[in-house]
Amino acid sequence: SWFISGRHDNNEAFGSHNTGTAEWGYWLQDNLQFSLNYGTAFKEPTFNDLYFPDVGFFIGNSQLQPEKSNSFAMNINGYQSWGNWGINIYNTHIRDLIVYQFPQNENVDRASISGIEFEAETQIAGLDIAFNATILDPTDNVTGNILPRRAKRLANLHMDKQWGAWSVGASWKVSSYRYDNAANTTRLSGYGIVDVRAAYQLDQDWSIQASVSNLFDKEYQTINNYNSLDTIGMVSLSYTP
């Protein structure tokens, strides 16, 4: 199978850019698919990136240039009696990557993001289980440092069960450490958080849902000096005719 797409942008500030994607897939077996894809991208800075007024911790940078990137990926996906699985390997090269460096966004001349992702889904004793993990190498190719605010290891585990009108579930989300700045001198610790949820179908049209995010009130930061939310509980009533 083939997939090809193309796009043309004509931006008054940054000129014309042609981008596109090409993907090829092949079934090695009835339940095993291999694919390759290559793509290019163009992303202009937003109005706020360029001209936001000085508010102390952020100010626009009118000298920003748009990001330009090209990516290559290789994927293999399996479909088994016990569930589905996939492995994705990719490499992206970016010119003028836009990153925040106090107090404004700046361009990174050359950067690359390489990674491998694993994912699997199955069902055990009526329990739906989904797992995914990512190993990243986000690098500033000029300095050799890790790109700011990007963790190198990520993983998620989701478990859900439904019986009758009830459904319950839980998620465990894990992240390794990251650096808040380009110089890699401000390190933010890794973390793991647990979310839980439950729902009840009152009738054909009405349902009620409850969820708790960050169940164990984990204190963590993905941005330096900007604390993430504490434990949050929410109840909602939904009507779907």
**pLDDT for residue 172:** 98
Distance (Å, rounded) from C-alpha 222 to C-alpha 175?
10
**pLDDT given for residue 226 in this prediction:** 87
Gap between the Cα atoms of 118 and 87, Å rounded? 5
Q: What is the CA radius of gyration of the chain?
A: 22
State pLDDT tens for residues 35-91: 999 999 999 999 999 999 999 889 999 999 999 999 999 999 999 999 999 999 999
Provide the pLDDT for residue 57.
Answer: 87
The ranges of the chain with pLDDT < 70 are none
In angstroms, rounded to a whole number, what is the distance separating the alpha carbons of residues 74 and 88?
A: 6
